[in-house]
């Protein structure tokens, strides 16, 4: 079985209203942090899709594939109000 070449990444989630949030993967662990670097529950952002999204983020090869996963989930959740959908930026990959 081949091992994946997973890289650490950091994503900035720019909320429509409120502070920026960050999603990071460091040493294989995915964390969701507030702008002041305080840990937050991923379900605060993704509601009932948090668990499946976390698994997809853990399996992402780099920041760009993690951004794609997160944008797809956010688009599903914000389908009724796409203007207020959070924006996602790759800070480091």
Angle at 44 between CA 85 and CA 65, to 5 degrees: 60
pLDDT tens-digit readout, 25-41:
988 888 998 888 888 88
In this prediction, residues 11-22 reach a mean pLDDT of: 88
Tell me what pLDDT residue 1 has. 41
Other C-beta atoms closer than 10 Å to the C-beta of 38 total: 7
Tell me what pLDDT residue 53 has. 92
Q: First vs last Cα of the chain: how many Å apart?
A: 25
Residue that the structure tokens 């969701």 belong to: 32
pLDDT tens-digit readout, 2-16:
456 788 999 999 988
pLDDT tens-digit readout, 42-91:
888 888 999 999 999 999 999 999 999 999 999 999 998 888 889 999 99
Give the per-residue SS3 of 29-74.
Answer: EEEEEECCCCECCCHHHHHHHHHHHHHHHHHCCCHHHHHHHHHHHH
């Amino acid at each position: 079985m081949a091992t994946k070449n997973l890289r650490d990444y950091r994503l900035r989630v720019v909320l429509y209203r409120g502070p920026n949030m960050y999603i990071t993967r460091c040493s294989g662990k995915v964390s969701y942090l507030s702008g002041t670097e305080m840990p937050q529950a991923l379900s605060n952002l993704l509601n009932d899709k948090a668990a499946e999204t976390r698994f997809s983020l853990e399996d992402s090869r780099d920041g760009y594939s993690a951004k794609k996963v997160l944008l797809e989930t956010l688009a599903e959740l914000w389908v009724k109000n796409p203007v207020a959908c959070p924006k996602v930026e790759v800070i480091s990959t």
